[in-house]
Amino acid sequence: MVVLDGIVMGPTHCAFENCIQSIANIQQGVFCAEHDILHFGLCHIKNCNSPKAENSQTCQVHQHNWQSHIIRFGQQTLLGIHRIIRHSEEEQHIWLPQVNRQQPVHDEIQAPNQQHTNYFIAPRFYCVETICAPCGVVIAWTKFAKAESPTNILEFLDSVYPTADLQPNYVCIDKACLLLRTAVQHGAWDVWGQTTRFIVDSYHYINHHTTDYICQKWCNPAPLNGSAPNLVIVENDKQGNPHYKQAFNTQACEQLNAWIGGFQSSVNKMNVENFNWTMHSLLFIHTQQIIKKQQKKRNNNPVLRAEESDENEEIDN
């Protein structure tokens, strides 16, 4: 089994359409080195090749767009201050307006598909997607520029597991039912269906509709009808009473994201290259820590230590 999940974070990249290269001037620029040369001195409204006015990012014709952007940016800063005040859970201020906080509907594709008509602000990578083993070891990671869509997830899986002999038996992800539907529609299930089953992690599965037949039948993380005996095991409690238990930790990526989120404010300010290096180093350190914990656990368990010794003897023979 492998577990997938994404965390909304990432560096800024070139504002030019479909370009995800690092920005040449990370402090003030919005273009990579190539597109910065092509648009040097030109109006930052798309499809406008007029020269920029002095102390502005647009030509004289589009000055109203630039002024609107400056005003809107100021308002966003003020709203940000209000949000910080409202986030205080300990104090309730009667002078603050009541805010209805609604949880996002699960399995919606949270894609910032806003069509910008200008190059005023550099866009940001939408999320970092990771593939983990249930123990927490990171297998692979990537960045999604625009959305954590099922299509992007399938392409990521295809790049990590290009052949059937490498594909895992189970892929656990919060939107497994959407992933399954997309794979069937695009023909990818002809390949993945031979080796793999997409299941929802236990945390998100309780929020999926019981009327969703495909999700309930094919994406259940712990079916008790015998259709997936490797996912459920029987364990005895302290009193010796047997009970069902999930065989794998389906929250491995959620636990990883909780740790990565602590570095979000720092790494989001980096350029693409530094972000990639830092993120790879963090995930490497995390993996090394998990391996050390697993080894310590094996050393403290006489049964596991005996099994490992038997395996080594078989290899030697």
191-211 in b/e burial notation, b at 16+ Cβ within 10 A? Answer: ebeeebbbbbbbebbeebeee
Residue closest to 46 by CA, chosen among 18, 14, 15, 75 = 15
Average pLDDT over the chain, rounded to whole?
A: 82
pTM of the model: 0.76
pLDDT value at 190 more than 70: yes
pLDDT class of 316 with cuts at 50, 70, 90: low
Q: What is the mean pLDDT of residues 86-108?
A: 44
What six digits make up the tokens of 68? 């609107």
pLDDT of residue 303: 66
Question: Phi and psi at residue 311, in whole multiples of 5°?
Answer: -65, -40
pLDDT tops 90 at residue 153: yes
What are 158's two structure tokens? 């295809």
Q: How many residues does the chain have?
A: 317
Q: Is the pLDDT of residue 158 over 50?
A: yes
Tell whether the model's pLDDT for residue 16 goes beyond 50. yes
Report the share of the chain in percent with pLDDT over 70. 82
Residue 6 has pLDDT above 50, yes or no: yes
Does the structure show a pLDDT above 60 at 135? yes
Sign of CA dihedral 161, 162, 167, 172: positive
Could you tell me if 296 and 143 are in contact, meaning their C-beta atoms sit under 8 angstroms apart?
A: no
- β-bridge mates for residue 172, sequence order: 3, 199
Residues above pLDDT 90, as percent of the chain = 48
CA distances, 278 to each of 19, 32, 105, 269, 273 (Å) = 22, 20, 32, 12, 9
Per mean pLDDT, which range of 7-21, 153-167, 245-259, 300-314 is the poorest?
300-314
Structure tokens at 15: 């504002």
Per-residue model confidence as pLDDT tens digits over 236-293:
777 778 777 777 888 899 899 999 999 999 999 899 999 999 999 999 999 999 999 9
User: What does the pLDDT average to over 78-103?
Assistant: 45
Long-range contacts of 282-286, Cβ-Cβ distance < 8 Å, separation of 24 or more: 283/130, 283/138, 283/141, 284/138, 286/136, 286/138, 286/256, 286/259
